[in-house]
Structure 1
Amino acid sequence: MPTSPAASTRRRTRRRLRNAAVALLSTAALGASLLSPAAANAQTPPDEIDKSDNIDLVANLPKPEGFDVSNSDLAFTGDHVIVGNYNGFVIHDVSDPEAPEISSAVLCEGGQGDVSVSGDLLYYSVEYPQVNEECGSGESTAEDPDAFEGIRIFDISDKTSPEYIAAVPTDCGSHTNTLLQGEDSDYIYVSSYAPSERFPNCRPPHDKISIIEVPKDDPTSAAVVSQPVLFPEGGNHDQDNLLRPTEGCHDITVFPAKDIAAGACMGEGVLMDISDPLNPVVTETVRDDNFAFWHSATFTNDAKAVIFTDELGGGGAATCNEETGPELGADAIYTLKGRKNPELTFASYFKIDRHQSDTENCVAHNGSLIPVPGKDYFVQSWYQGGVSIIDFNNPREPREIGYFDRGPVSETELVRGGTWSAYYYNGYVYSSERTRGFDVLRLDDRRLRGAERVTFDEFNPQNQPQYRGR
């Protein structure tokens, strides 16, 4: 979700963060607050639901105490699902997916809360300036040269008691992070944006990303090792309807099996050559007058197509309606042609046609492939448009084949809510609901049953594996 750097906006957001965690902010240096299991596993019933016959909600865990700000992205390791939150993260035990339990809830505020996991390490994005690296140090301002923004690193070898072990500052903080795993080191592509001449650590043009190297045998020595400029010519700044111009990228999805990446970079979508992980090179760029904010990207399993999303309205507007139409705030599907430096060719748009009310923020957001060998199915979040199952085997004629949709958070005013991310993992769909917590969904559709033969030990949706059925 785009976040303005304006001081007034950040102050309002930080007040919400502070009020949510005021009783739990006294922590030691590089320490984090852990909630008790009883507080973490409190139950409340879900709201009224509309859905297709081939999808069912089998579990819901509300957000634990202290996490009443927005949930964000997800990462998966073994029998655990990690849910990012603007106040920290929550680790869920899904060894029984239909009876999940919270293993730990770590309060360590900083905003955005994008997460990636690598073995026993968790990488967590901090976008709102903090006084220092400590959890609970309190809010600062982007005008403060000593404020901390960037990546926090946790040791999660004990899922019931994560340990905060390191922090790496990055220019403009970290809105999202993407993991690229090497033999001896992890590389984290840090995407951030919204520079200003007022911000000493976030100055324009900021047409770059930061790359952090984390040595696997010494993660506490993690550091920024490269800051490649992706847009030396400045990117797309001239399109009239852009929410933000190109400033680095909003999010990047890597496809290590083919040494390529797709970047959603506010003003444009890009392909990158990542054969040299410290020096990604943009090889192809596309722009679209219908797109206001290139938000995220997902490859097909054969990397012959990519889905880009447009987060029209920054995720805070009611855009799934007849007035907005079927092409704004949609997915755009592009095919890739050519073996070396493939070209992107537009195939179609997809947008849910289940019109939502004027009090429901709704727009294309995060999703992943459903790993049916040889087929192209996609599960995707649409905020208060719910979870959508999309068949795009014909990239020119995508269609929805299933959905799960709650009623509005409020029927009288627009209150931001809905599902931020929905991803398929080892037989179930897991959804990070901004207001209602953690959802587990089960699919019952013969077209999707082949996915049950595909299992992973670890899954970061922005580090896209190439799967094979078993």
Structure 2
Amino acid sequence: MTSLHTTRVRRRRLGVAAAAAAGLFATLLAAGPAVATPDPGDKPAKEETSKSQQAEARKAIENNDIPGVDEIIHSDNMSHVANVPKEHLKGTNSDIAFQGKYAFSGNYDGFRIFDISKPSKPKTVAQVLCPGGQNDISVSGDLLFLSTDASRSDNSCSSVSQPATEKSSWEGMKIFDISDKRNPEYVAAIETACGSHTHTLVPERKNIYVYVSSYSPNTAFPDCQPPHDGISIIKVPRKAPEQSKIVDFPILFPDGGNPGAPTNPGVSATTGCHDITVLPSKDVAAGACMGDGILFDIKDPEKPRVIDRVQDNVNFAFWHSATFNQRANKIVFTDELGGGGAATCNEEIGPKRGADGIYDILGKGDKRTLEFKSYFKIDRPQADAEVCVAHNGSLIPVKGKDIMVQAWYQGGISVWDFTDSSKPKEIGYFERGPVTLDQVTTAGPWSAYYYNGYIYSNDIAKGLDVIKLDDRRTDEAKKVKMDELNVQTQPDYFEDF
């Protein structure tokens, strides 16, 4: 375990504007879709910072405007109770899933299973080496699902990188049997067009449907041909996962979606979806699809139907993920400006880019529409060496309130309230200072999720963090006990709600 400590830091709100920030802003605007390659790859961002940027950051640390290198700070209502560093899997940490007393941590090199029966002392149960970024992870019953969105020589866990231009290359979904948590067994693989960047489970009694999100087709890729305007749907029999197969590839964007640049400069062209969140109890899903945000009906999980679609060609560069509120009358969409490889939490970028967009859902049935209400972005300044942008989060189950916890890479973890869609506000935070001042480095929390009374964060560089939130506004959530949680498959926390 690493040492845990707290330092109170006097913070100016969005007050650290580094010398090169204006130049970065211009680059992000002009570069268009190319700059919005989402999520760090096998080689995360490590661009050297200038001497003036380093001097600016050191001055900000001296003035207590930002925490020092690796220094931990947090609001009074949050406390750091545990950290488990990386061990055998040294790649980028990615998503997290939960089941009973276990947490399942994705990593570009495979996945790790923790026993979290004592949140203050997580214990490693198993580490599975199975390279193939980004290893987005979910669990349902005895099955674990792992996304491979990196071109590999074959579907085995001993595969090596191989160009996507070769027909024999493989990308897609892997399925493991986790009935024995100490010895997961690899049981099935399904190749999908353009791989599987992320996936979302729609569980039923006998079957599990998997919505596979992937994008960026290329005429040079035999298994990833344009156009690629939909998602792969896999049907997985619970008792015979080896019989899993693709049952459909519904087209979500018959018109091709957002064209991106030059029509919409600085916006990613839509060539598929990045992430989908489903709320099965309400038969709805929300898709964050590069240049578009969509709301669709999943009453028939094999035949999803788009109900409404929105774009933000002024402030959103890459629609990355989505979260419903419990009533399913709001969606929070995130914009991954800079593709998870740029420092965007500063004064020059401002509060509306690399942020969350809050949308109300109006109307009923097929007449439902999305109406933009406001943006939310952390207003705690970050150094220009810190990759920072809106990323993965989850609801905190408080009846009658809309509160969520969210990861912001090196911006840390934010707990914020969007009960009033037009006036979101942060109510708690936890963060570390820069991992270095010499390079723009991808680090910090990839995912931050609330599960059975604690916040669990998969830090890209530092490992698993466990955070305790003590606040009268969220104390009610401690009464909600979950048996399983895949955040992109949102549960109905209150059945009578």
Q: TM-score, normalized by length of structure 1?
A: 0.90
Q: Work out the percentage of aligned pairs sharing the same amino acid.
A: 55
The one-letter code matched in structure 2 to 1:312 is L
1:35 — aligned with what?
Answer: none
Give the C-alpha shift of residue 405 in structure 1: 0.8
1:63 — aligned with what?
Answer: 86
2:471 — aligned with what?
Answer: 445
The one-letter code matched in structure 2 to 1:85 is N
Give the C-alpha shift of residue 220 in structure 1: 1.0
Q: Report the secondary structure of 1:414's partner residue.
A: strand
2:47 — aligned with what?
Answer: none
2:352 — aligned with what?
Answer: 327
The one-letter code matched in structure 1 to 2:365 is K
User: Does 2:230 align with 1:208?
Assistant: yes
Task: Decide whether the 8 Å contact of 1:192 with 1:250 is kept in 2.
Answer: yes
Mark the CA change 1:325 to 1:198 in structure 2 (over 3 Å): closer, same or farther.
same
Give the C-alpha shift of residue 244 in structure 1: 2.5
Task: Decide whether the 8 Å contact of 1:306 with 1:333 is kept in 2.
Answer: yes
Distance 1:170 1:242 in 2: 29
Task: Decide whether the 8 Å contact of 1:373 with 1:469 is kept in 2.
Answer: no
User: Does 2:181 align with 1:156?
Assistant: no
Distance 1:307 1:325 in 2: 19
The one-letter code matched in structure 2 to 1:269 is G
Task: Decide whether the 8 Å contact of 1:311 with 1:363 is kept in 2.
Answer: yes
1:311 — aligned with what?
Answer: 336
Give the C-alpha shift of residue 241 in structure 1: 3.4
Mark the CA change 1:241 to 1:409 in structure 2 (over 3 Å): closer, same or farther.
farther
1:357 — aligned with what?
Answer: 383
Give the C-alpha shift of residue 183 in structure 1: 1.9
Query: Deviation digits for residues 83-114 of structure 1, max 9, x if unmatched?
Result: 10111000111000111001001000011110
Give the C-alpha shift of residue 47 in structure 1: 3.4
1:26 — aligned with what?
Answer: none
2:136 — aligned with what?
Answer: 114
1:138 — aligned with what?
Answer: 160
Give the C-alpha shift of residue 14 in structure 1: 5.6
Give the C-alpha shift of residue 216 in structure 1: 1.1
Give the C-alpha shift of residue 242 in structure 1: 3.9
Give the C-alpha shift of residue 393 in structure 1: 1.2
Task: Decide whether the 8 Å contact of 2:398 with 2:474 is kept in 1.
Answer: yes
1:340 — aligned with what?
Answer: 365
Query: Deviation digits for residues 118-153 of structure 1, max 9, x if unmatched?
Result: 011000000111111111121111011111100000
Query: Deviation digits for residues 187-207 of structure 1, max 9, x if unmatched?
Result: 000000011000000011100
2:489 — aligned with what?
Answer: 463
Distance 2:415 2:495 in 1: 20
Give the C-alpha shift of residue 321 in structure 1: 0.2
The one-letter code matched in structure 2 to 1:245 is A
Match for 1:264 among 265, 288, 300? 288
Distance 1:89 1:340 in 2: 39
Distance 1:107 1:441 in 2: 27
Give the C-alpha shift of residue 420 in structure 1: 0.3
Give the C-alpha shift of residue 243 in structure 1: 4.9
Q: Report the secondary structure of 2:316's partner residue.
A: coil
2:394 — aligned with what?
Answer: 368
Distance 2:124 2:315 in 1: 41
User: Does 2:73 align with 1:50?
Assistant: yes
Query: Deviation digits for residues 30-62 of structure 1, max 9, x if unmatched?
Result: xxxxxxxxxxxxxxxx93111100001100001
> C-alpha root-mean-square deviation of aligned residues, in Å?
1.9
Query: Deviation digits for residues 378-428 of structure 1, max 9, x if unmatched?
Result: 100000000000011111000001000101111121111010000000000
> Runs of 5+ in structure 2 lacking a partner?
1-32, 45-68
The one-letter code matched in structure 2 to 1:87 is D
Match for 1:428 among 454, 458, 468? 454
Distance 1:177 1:72 in 2: 13
Distance 2:41 2:352 in 1: 31
Report runs of 4+ in structure 1 exceeding 6 Å deviation.
none
Task: Decide whether the 8 Å contact of 1:243 with 1:312 is kept in 2.
Answer: no
Task: Decide whether the 8 Å contact of 1:243 with 1:313 is kept in 2.
Answer: no
1:252 — aligned with what?
Answer: 276
Give the C-alpha shift of residue 469 in structure 1: 8.4
